[in-house]
Amino acid sequence: MRRPIALPILALGLIALPAAAQALDARAQRGETIARTNCARCHAIGRIGASPLAEAPPFRELHHRYPVTDLGEALAEGITTGHPSMPEFRLDPDQAQALIAYLQTLER
């Protein structure tokens, strides 16, 4: 009896897919860590939940206000505006891009 080869190959592909997706998301994972460390005191940084500070918009809604890719320069040079009580902070360019990559995952 001959076994179809396609089924085992398909099964291996489905097993490898999450690992490949995780490797591609390394930058976004770093961005989530940056958000958790620097932003979560005020902002809801995940897909659900309210922001701890009512005036701080949830990160999952930022893309409705403006393209999050436009934040790169502001994050690297120092955001001085945002919600009224937002502290000024700076990220290096790699950190800024990682945070933007994370914000983009919240658009889906």
pLDDT one-digit tens code per residue, 52-81: 999 899 999 999 998 999 988 888 887 766
Report if residue 15 sits inside a domain: no
Per the structure, the complete domain to which residue 36 belongs is given by 26-105
* 8 CB-near residues (< 8 Å, 6+ apart): none
Report if residue 9 sits inside a domain: no
Report if residue 59 sits inside a domain: yes
What's the number of domains the chain is made of? 1
Report if residue 1 sits inside a domain: no
Report if residue 100 sits inside a domain: yes
Where residue 85 sits, what CATH number does that domain have?
1.10.760.10
Q: What share of the chain is helix, strand, coil (3-state, %, to 5)?
A: 55, 0, 40
* 89 CB-near residues (< 8 Å, 6+ apart): 38, 78, 79
Q: What is the pTM of this model?
A: 0.73
Report if residue 58 sits inside a domain: yes
pLDDT band at 90 (very low <50, low <70, confident <90, very high): confident
Quick one: 57 exposed, middle or buried, by C-beta within 10 A (0-12, 13-18, 19+)?
middle
